[in-house]
Each structure stands twice: as structure tokens, then as C-alpha cells.
Structure 1
């Protein structure tokens, strides 16, 4: 019987060891990628706004406060809160900058009495959806007054002007901007599976209106703020929604939100078919495109998101992905591109520094 010589045996063993190491490294990278994707939600918020869930329901804690306090009563708001100036106004409410015990806070008041139901709907949503995704409620009064945490950067419409400021230019990266888009999608997933049932973000008939529903925090995170129009979807009861009683137009709203009977038949809310939360999915690509801006790496990111965003724009709502799938894909792409950036030495690291 012929045997292998030592010279022949050595290369064979070396090849086997090399293949084993390659398989081990590949498995390690696979596991690492999996855990990075799974933990991204926590990494995104590790340095973000303080999680409302750290306080019991009905309580709040602002930055710098050691203990949780109960929501302020009407009497406490009247005696302890000082209104400074008007900083915003919509159809439903006026928003004022105010002071409470050395803290800047936002005080909202009903602007027009005929929108009282919308105002109280927004209050109930604010109370019931308190979480890391929603602005902190500090107190309320039945005289149409709500007190919330103040965020000096204002709404997401200001993102470009904020990041173009000299103090924030180092954060004007695809990583930071994409994280904002991920958080926006995470809120929609939360909203579509909320403790108050599946809800639809109805105040979103154009890009500017949609962005105005969210605030940009000082540490560059996203929190939902305007919750005055969140109707409930209840499929088991055959309950779908309609975002208002007027005709919607334009490419930003989803096809099912458009009047389906053409110009020959005048618009009638009674004849307008209802729809579900997939209207929110249709709008995700436009919001994300705005948030990404035109920074280095954003075009590469758009290529990675092309297929997902095309699916979001399917004419048939049932063919669009869920908000969860959008979040999962966004996380996976974020992880992939940050790994590639780390390997090439171009990762900015700014999202870790916030």
C-alpha cells in the first residue's frame, strides 16, 4: 500500500486547517452581523432621548431630574408655568414657549373651539402612546391646555438648516441622517401596533405637513409630537379609515387616498372608499429621501434601498411591506454599510458620539 509522504501530507493538512478557519471566520461574521442588526434598536437610542418608560405611567422625568414626577395638575400648571411667547400655530392649537421650575417647556392651547374634539383626541393619544417614540407629556388641563417637553430645534422640517450650522456640521453624515429615517420608520411600526390599536398618521397629506408632525431633539433623534389625527383601524370589525372629509390630491398621498371616480362624479365623502395604515408605508420613501439629503454616501444608500422603496410604492396596498419589514431592512442596510465603512476606514462614528 502506498502511503502519503510527509511532503504531501503537510499541504493537505494546511489546506484543511485554512478551510476550517475560513468557515469559522465566516460563521463569526454572520453571527456578529445578526446581533448587530438585532441590537441596533437599542444602539440607536443608547444615547438618545430619555426613555419615557423609565417612569411609571402618568409620570415624567426631564433631563437633569433625579426622580419621576406625576403629570402636573391643572392647578399646578396655572401656578407654576409661565408662558413666554408664541412659537407655533396650526389649525387645532397654538404652541407657546413656557417656563416651569427653570425648564423650558411647550404649552399648547386650543386655537379654534370647533376643533375641540381633535384637541382632546390628540391628548388621549399623547397619554396612551407615551413611549420613547413620542414627546413627553408633562401635564394637561381640561380647559384645553397641554404641557409637553420643549425641543428647541423644532420639527423635522428644520433638519437641513440645523445640520448646516457650524456647530452641527460634523453630524451632517449619512449615518446620522439615516438613523433619523430609521427612527421615523420605527415610530410607524409602533403606531401600527400600538397599545391603543393600529393607528394611521392622517396629518400627512404632503411632505411638509408630515415632517411637521415630528420633533428633532437636541441630540438629533426623532419624536412624534402632533397626534391630533390618528384614527383606528379595526379589520376584525371591518373598520377602516378616511383622513378627513375633503378630497386629497397629489403624488405624495397614496393611490387609495385619491378620489377613484374621476372628474365626471363630484367628490363625496360618503362615496369615498376607506383605507388602512398602508397609506403610511407609501410615504416612507419620500420622507426618507428628504432626511438623507445630499451628503457623502447618501446616493449609495439610496441604491441599497431602491427595491424596498419601490415596494413601498406599490399601487395595491396589500403588496406594500409592513412598517416592521421597512425597519428590519433599514437596520440591515445600516449595519452592512457601517461595517463596510469601518473596514475601509471611512466610518464617521458621529452616531456614536451623540
Structure 2
């Protein structure tokens, strides 16, 4: 490939390669619905290639045909078969094949429900196991492998869209309405989900982790998640957290923090990322977000605490990391 041609093709090539990852790709499914979507996509792409090659072959044959070989009757037969009969049969077969796939997956009252609410710009999560109180979390979705889970999707402010490419298709999250998406993870691992509907300045910074776990491990995790946090109450960061009114917006079960405006922080330190999946969980990143969330995530509704000294923000960050 010549250098000018490579330079012109490189952006498109690199854009395609950016989608070739294992934790956020429709081509690397870990859920039943995503596997069906991939199969359907590959079939349609393959069919499109066959049609393109067939049309190209007809063009070449027509261009090379000797004079007088192409007749009006022959052209009309080609139009009838290639433009009428064959497309009707193919599209009818595709309709019969795809209609069952559009039917909502079945669920029972015994299945786990997970309520997810899109906020600007984070995810409110509440697990609702049968006959047990809800377990509240944020910015992370955990699923038991091999079990049916009903996701109840809503929004607290503007329209968002829930999309985990490897799990299932997209579904809108609309204020005042609850949409239901039934999913089943078939492979354990850590994956990534995103908001797929423009929702404000930090729409592109609104992601979340999806952790598919073996059923026994998930049950143990959910039981631990339901318990209050066990932080060191005497830590300097705990007093600073309370003194600066953080508990008015954030809940930390087992403490005086009972706010519901912002994400639940009860087991914040056990998460792999912060700020809705955009930063790794480190003391420096937590302190940076506490001091000025808007500089990390433009449009975030969390107020800035620039009046705090670096030592105080570090102390609060270490306290939050202790919440496991």
C-alpha cells in the first residue's frame, strides 16, 4: 500500500480497530441476546456481500456480452427474478426467522430484579432479590452467570440509554417510565456498559462496569453488599466527610450519611472505578474528584470543595476507599 493511500485509509482503519476489544464489543458477547444479535448481524453482512458480488458479476457479464445477446425478454426475466421473486422469498424468510427473536424473553417472579436509573452523569442501582429488602449501589452492575435477571430501566432527569454491547441490545431510559430488559449472562468476566443517548456535557463520560459472576460468588457478594459499611469511624476523613455535609447527598449505611441525591457510597472502596467508570480507583483520583468534580466530569451536579486543603481531600479519599 502506498504511503498516501495508507494515510487516507488509516483513520477509518483505526476507528474500526477501536471497536475490536473483548470488554465492550457486540462481536464478543457474554450474554444470550448479544450472541443472537451477533449471529443475525453476521448473516445479514454475509448476505449483503453475496448480493454485491452477484450484482458485480452481472455487470461484468453484461459489459462483456457480445452484441445481440442481451434481449428485452431476457432483461424482463432478470428483473422479475432478481428484482421481485428472489427478494420476496429472502425477505419473507428473514421475517419468519427474526420475529421470534423480537419477542420479550420470559421472566418469573422468582428472578432477580435490578432497578437502574440514569442520572447526570452516573447510574443508580438497586438489587431487588425476591422476598428480601433492596440492596442499593451505584455505577456497577453485577450479574449471576446462567440466571435470568430483569433490568428495570428508568431515568431521573433526561433521557438516557442503557447499552452493554456484549450483553444485549440498547434500551432507552425515560423519565416517568420503566422499561424492562430481560438478560442472562453466560460467561463470567468484567465488561463495560455505556449511556448510548446524548444526555448532557459528560454523556461520553457516563460508563459503568458489568461484572458477571458465578452464582455462588454472586450470592455471597450480594449478602455482603447488603451489610452496612465497616469503616474506621475514628479516621480523620470520617469527621471531614460529616463536617462538610457529604452525608446530605450520599448514603453510607451504618453511619449518619443518609443522602439520596448522589451515588450510594456504602461499599465505594470495593469498586474498581469511580466517577461512573472513567477513572481507576486510586487515592489521588478520589481526592481530585472530591475537590472539583466538575473539572473531571463537566456538568456534574456535585459541588466543588476547593476550600479544602490537599491534606483534607486526601483524608476524605482514604476514608472513602476504606468503605468496603
TM-score, with structure 1 as normaliser: 0.28
Which structure: greater helix fraction? Answer: 1
Q: Given the two structures, how large is their TM-score scaled by the length of structure 2?
A: 0.30
Larger Rg: 2
